[in-house]
Amino acid sequence: MNVSSRFDVTGFGVVVTGGASGLGLAYGEVLASHGARVTLIDVDGAAVAAQAARLRDRDGLDVRSAAVDVTDHPALDRAIDEAAAAYGRLDVAFANAGIDPGAGFVGAWAGGQRPRVTEGALERYTDERWNRVIEINLNGIFATVRAAARHMRPRRSGRIVITTSLAATRVEPAIGAAYMTAKAGARHLMHTVALELAADGIMVNAIAPGFFETNIGGGHAHDPAVQAALAKDIPMHRIGQPDDIKPLALFLASPASEYVTGQEIVIDGGWGLGVAD
């Protein structure tokens, strides 16, 4: 067997939600750079159009964009339908869009302690804040997966990749409760859908990132001081970069993963293992 050929995604039709920046953009970049035809979907129409244009103009890649809020399920359906029509097929869907949950009930380590954060206390968790996180980070994932399956099932082939989080299985009190709940729900949805769609040749898996330098959390992860503080708890002593996730995304989207389904693959530099030094 020529193993390298199993990673060939040339001509694949791909959609990525939350594709204007961060991990979503990394997913789109790696698939497009390996010959796939990619539609980046994001609520920020100007940003996602600019990224698609950059990849087309600078790198000559086959990338288009769509401005869609994943909480608008009919609009999301239309965007995915249009992508499938443009490509004549839909091979891969990355259900990735998500938002920052706001403060948890404790803050970052400072002087050997983690101070309580009044803003993140349970009594201050408004319905609006809770519902918005669930609508985007869980219901938006569901709507993306549902729309993708509608195109993949008749062809009896496809890959669906859901972005969960290490927070789906580990309680991290600095992260808002709604975020952890949504990601845990997305993880269980992945298992359920993987079981249902396996006989149709559709592989459903999840990527569970730890700390990455993205815009989530208000963009604080771009601050070198924040990165240094986070790195102290990570055995590899650095936070992740979007490029770190690209090989895993290519694997899960390609024929190389044809016997892998229902799996959540953690990519966190060892953070979930505990503190080593």
Task: Return phi, psi of residue 117, to 5°.
Answer: -115, 115
Mean pLDDT calculated for residue range 87-92? 98
At the fourth CATH level, which superfamily is domain 3-268?
A: NAD(P)-binding Rossmann-like Domain (3.40.50.720)
pTM listed for this prediction: 0.94
The residues that are catalytic are 179
Residue 227 tokens read as 């990165």
Domain ranges of the chain: 3-268
pLDDT by residue (tens digit) across 223-274?
777 777 777 888 888 988 999 999 999 999 999 999 999 999 999 988 888 8
Radius of gyration over alpha carbons of the chain, in Å? 18
Q: Closest Cα to residue 42, out of 123, 99, 117?
A: 99
Q: Dihedral, CA atoms, 254, 66, 50, 159, nearest 10 degrees?
A: -10
The mean of the pLDDT values for the chain is 92
Question: Residue 186 pLDDT > 90, yes or no?
Answer: yes
Provide the pLDDT for residue 228. Answer: 78
With beta carbons less than 8 A apart as the criterion, state whether 139 and 71 touch: yes
